[in-house]
Copies of this chain bind each other. A is one copy, B any other.
Amino acid sequence: MARQKSEQVRKAILEAAHRLFIEKGYIATTISSIARAAGTSQSNVYVYFASKFEIAFAVFDPWLRTKIAALEANVTAQETPEERLRTLIDGLLRGIAADRSGQTLTLVQALATAKPGDEYNPDLLIWTMSRIHHMIGSALPNSDPAEREALTHSLMLAFDGIALRQNLRREEIKDSHSVDALYMMVRALVDRRALTRVQEPRD
Protein backbone atom coordinates (compact mmCIF):
# COMPACT_ATOMS: atom_id res chain seq x y z
CA MET A 1 0.00 0.00 0.00
CA ALA A 2 0.92 3.63 -0.39
CA ARG A 3 3.82 5.04 -2.27
CA GLN A 4 6.57 2.80 -3.58
CA LYS A 5 10.26 3.41 -3.74
CA SER A 6 11.45 4.29 -7.20
CA GLU A 7 13.86 1.85 -8.75
CA GLN A 8 15.18 4.77 -10.76
CA VAL A 9 16.12 6.78 -7.68
CA ARG A 10 17.76 3.78 -6.10
CA LYS A 11 19.81 3.21 -9.21
CA ALA A 12 20.76 6.87 -9.43
CA ILE A 13 22.02 6.80 -5.85
CA LEU A 14 24.06 3.66 -6.42
CA GLU A 15 25.54 4.96 -9.64
CA ALA A 16 26.48 8.27 -8.09
CA ALA A 17 28.02 6.51 -5.12
CA HIS A 18 29.88 4.12 -7.37
CA ARG A 19 31.45 6.96 -9.29
CA LEU A 20 32.24 9.11 -6.29
CA PHE A 21 33.73 6.27 -4.27
CA ILE A 22 36.14 5.57 -7.10
CA GLU A 23 36.95 9.24 -7.56
CA LYS A 24 37.38 10.30 -3.95
CA GLY A 25 37.23 7.16 -1.84
CA TYR A 26 34.52 6.17 0.61
CA ILE A 27 35.52 8.43 3.45
CA ALA A 28 35.91 11.59 1.40
CA THR A 29 32.57 11.03 -0.32
CA THR A 30 29.71 12.69 1.55
CA ILE A 31 26.08 11.64 1.56
CA SER A 32 25.34 15.16 0.50
CA SER A 33 27.47 14.82 -2.64
CA ILE A 34 25.91 11.46 -3.46
CA ALA A 35 22.44 12.97 -3.12
CA ARG A 36 23.38 15.93 -5.28
CA ALA A 37 24.86 13.71 -7.99
CA ALA A 38 21.82 11.44 -7.85
CA GLY A 39 19.44 14.39 -8.16
CA THR A 40 17.71 13.90 -4.84
CA SER A 41 17.91 15.23 -1.32
CA GLN A 42 20.32 14.19 1.38
CA SER A 43 17.59 12.93 3.65
CA ASN A 44 15.86 10.99 0.91
CA VAL A 45 18.96 8.86 0.52
CA TYR A 46 18.07 7.43 3.91
CA VAL A 47 14.74 6.28 2.59
CA TYR A 48 16.65 3.92 0.32
CA PHE A 49 19.62 3.02 2.48
CA ALA A 50 19.92 2.86 6.23
CA SER A 51 23.46 4.21 6.33
CA LYS A 52 26.50 5.18 4.35
CA PHE A 53 27.96 1.80 5.19
CA GLU A 54 25.00 0.08 3.57
CA ILE A 55 25.51 2.08 0.39
CA ALA A 56 29.15 1.03 0.27
CA PHE A 57 28.20 -2.58 0.54
CA ALA A 58 25.46 -2.26 -2.06
CA VAL A 59 28.04 -0.80 -4.42
CA PHE A 60 30.80 -3.26 -3.61
CA ASP A 61 28.77 -6.46 -3.86
CA PRO A 62 27.86 -6.41 -7.56
CA TRP A 63 31.22 -4.89 -8.42
CA LEU A 64 33.14 -7.75 -6.86
CA ARG A 65 30.82 -10.42 -8.26
CA THR A 66 31.34 -9.09 -11.74
CA LYS A 67 35.10 -8.97 -11.32
CA ILE A 68 35.34 -12.47 -9.88
CA ALA A 69 33.08 -13.90 -12.57
CA ALA A 70 35.25 -12.33 -15.26
CA LEU A 71 38.35 -13.67 -13.58
CA GLU A 72 36.87 -17.14 -13.45
CA ALA A 73 36.04 -17.03 -17.14
CA ASN A 74 39.59 -15.93 -17.83
CA VAL A 75 41.11 -18.65 -15.67
CA THR A 76 38.94 -21.33 -17.20
CA ALA A 77 39.95 -20.24 -20.67
CA GLN A 78 43.63 -21.01 -20.01
CA GLU A 79 45.01 -24.19 -21.50
CA THR A 80 47.32 -25.50 -18.81
CA PRO A 81 47.07 -25.65 -15.02
CA GLU A 82 50.22 -23.52 -14.79
CA GLU A 83 48.62 -20.79 -16.85
CA ARG A 84 45.45 -21.04 -14.81
CA LEU A 85 47.40 -20.61 -11.61
CA ARG A 86 49.26 -17.57 -12.86
CA THR A 87 46.09 -16.05 -14.26
CA LEU A 88 44.28 -16.61 -10.98
CA ILE A 89 46.93 -15.10 -8.72
CA ASP A 90 47.68 -12.23 -11.01
CA GLY A 91 44.06 -11.44 -11.76
CA LEU A 92 42.92 -11.65 -8.18
CA LEU A 93 45.73 -9.68 -6.58
CA ARG A 94 46.96 -7.31 -9.23
CA GLY A 95 43.76 -7.10 -11.24
CA ILE A 96 41.17 -6.81 -8.49
CA ALA A 97 42.72 -6.17 -5.06
CA ALA A 98 45.26 -3.63 -6.27
CA ASP A 99 42.98 -1.92 -8.76
CA ARG A 100 42.96 1.71 -7.85
CA SER A 101 40.03 2.43 -10.10
CA GLY A 102 37.96 -0.21 -8.39
CA GLN A 103 35.91 -0.53 -5.23
CA THR A 104 38.38 -2.40 -3.07
CA LEU A 105 39.41 0.69 -1.22
CA THR A 106 35.77 1.49 -0.66
CA LEU A 107 35.31 -1.73 1.22
CA VAL A 108 38.49 -1.33 3.25
CA GLN A 109 37.53 2.16 4.31
CA ALA A 110 33.95 1.19 4.99
CA LEU A 111 34.99 -1.76 7.12
CA ALA A 112 37.65 0.20 8.94
CA THR A 113 35.20 2.92 9.92
CA ALA A 114 32.21 0.64 10.51
CA LYS A 115 30.24 1.38 13.63
CA PRO A 116 28.99 -1.39 15.94
CA GLY A 117 25.58 -1.53 14.27
CA ASP A 118 27.01 -1.75 10.76
CA GLU A 119 26.50 -5.37 9.81
CA TYR A 120 26.86 -6.94 6.44
CA ASN A 121 25.62 -10.05 4.79
CA PRO A 122 28.31 -12.72 4.68
CA ASP A 123 26.95 -14.22 1.46
CA LEU A 124 29.38 -12.29 -0.71
CA LEU A 125 32.34 -13.41 1.37
CA ILE A 126 31.26 -17.04 1.23
CA TRP A 127 30.51 -16.90 -2.46
CA THR A 128 33.87 -15.33 -3.24
CA MET A 129 35.69 -17.92 -1.21
CA SER A 130 33.88 -20.72 -2.99
CA ARG A 131 34.74 -19.28 -6.42
CA ILE A 132 38.40 -19.01 -5.51
CA HIS A 133 38.35 -22.49 -4.12
CA HIS A 134 36.90 -23.73 -7.38
CA MET A 135 39.49 -21.90 -9.48
CA ILE A 136 42.27 -23.34 -7.37
CA GLY A 137 40.86 -26.77 -8.07
CA SER A 138 41.23 -26.15 -11.78
CA ALA A 139 44.69 -24.69 -11.38
CA LEU A 140 45.97 -27.48 -9.17
CA PRO A 141 44.37 -30.70 -10.36
CA ASN A 142 45.22 -33.75 -8.27
CA SER A 143 46.06 -31.60 -5.28
CA ASP A 144 44.70 -32.83 -2.00
CA PRO A 145 41.71 -31.04 -0.47
CA ALA A 146 43.60 -29.75 2.55
CA GLU A 147 46.10 -28.11 0.27
CA ARG A 148 43.38 -26.50 -1.82
CA GLU A 149 41.73 -25.27 1.34
CA ALA A 150 45.00 -23.81 2.59
CA LEU A 151 45.64 -22.05 -0.68
CA THR A 152 42.18 -20.58 -0.75
CA HIS A 153 42.75 -19.07 2.64
CA SER A 154 46.19 -17.82 1.72
CA LEU A 155 44.86 -16.11 -1.36
CA MET A 156 42.05 -14.45 0.56
CA LEU A 157 44.59 -13.29 3.11
CA ALA A 158 46.81 -11.88 0.40
CA PHE A 159 43.79 -10.17 -1.10
CA ASP A 160 43.13 -8.40 2.18
CA GLY A 161 46.78 -7.50 2.57
CA ILE A 162 46.99 -5.94 -0.88
CA ALA A 163 43.67 -4.20 -0.36
CA LEU A 164 44.86 -2.60 2.85
CA ARG A 165 48.06 -1.42 1.28
CA GLN A 166 46.49 -0.15 -1.86
CA ASN A 167 46.45 3.39 -0.63
CA LEU A 168 47.29 3.10 3.00
CA ARG A 169 50.86 2.03 2.99
CA ARG A 170 53.70 3.80 1.35
CA GLU A 171 55.51 3.09 -1.84
CA GLU A 172 58.32 1.69 0.29
CA ILE A 173 56.57 -1.63 -0.07
CA LYS A 174 56.06 -2.79 -3.59
CA ASP A 175 52.95 -4.86 -4.02
CA SER A 176 54.37 -6.46 -7.12
CA HIS A 177 57.13 -8.09 -5.11
CA SER A 178 54.57 -9.57 -2.79
CA VAL A 179 52.49 -11.02 -5.59
CA ASP A 180 55.52 -12.56 -7.24
CA ALA A 181 56.68 -13.89 -3.91
CA LEU A 182 53.34 -15.55 -3.31
CA TYR A 183 53.29 -17.05 -6.75
CA MET A 184 56.76 -18.41 -6.18
CA MET A 185 55.68 -20.09 -2.99
CA VAL A 186 52.65 -21.68 -4.52
CA ARG A 187 54.77 -22.99 -7.35
CA ALA A 188 57.10 -24.44 -4.79
CA LEU A 189 54.17 -26.27 -3.29
CA VAL A 190 53.23 -27.64 -6.68
CA ASP A 191 56.79 -28.59 -7.53
CA ARG A 192 57.29 -30.34 -4.26
CA ARG A 193 54.38 -32.59 -5.05
CA ALA A 194 55.85 -33.30 -8.45
CA LEU A 195 59.25 -34.05 -6.98
CA THR A 196 57.78 -36.14 -4.24
CA ARG A 197 55.94 -38.17 -6.82
CA VAL A 198 59.15 -38.71 -8.72
CA GLN A 199 60.94 -39.90 -5.64
CA GLU A 200 58.17 -42.05 -4.26
CA PRO A 201 55.90 -42.88 -7.15
CA ARG A 202 52.56 -44.23 -6.23
CA ASP A 203 49.98 -42.61 -8.54
Contacts and interface: CB of A to CB of B under 8 A. Distances in A.
A33 B170 CA distance: 30
Interface stretch (A61-69, A71-79, A173-181): A173-181
A173 B161 contact: no
Contact size class for A?
A: 35 or more
B161 A27 contact: no
Q: What is the predominant secondary structure among interface residues of chain A facing chain B?
A: helix
B164 A160 contact: yes
Contact of A112 (B112, B161, B191): B112
A195 interface: yes
A151 interface: yes
A172 interface: yes
Contacts of A158: 157-158, 161
Nearest to A150: B181
A70 interface: no
Residue from A27, A108, A129, A181 having most chain B Cβ neighbours under 10 A: A181
Contact of A163 (B151, B164, B182): B164
14 contacts: A108-B112, A111-B164, A112-B164, A150-B180, A150-B181, A153-B181, A157-B165, A157-B178, A163-B164, A188-B188, A192-B195, A195-B195, A195-B196, A198-B199
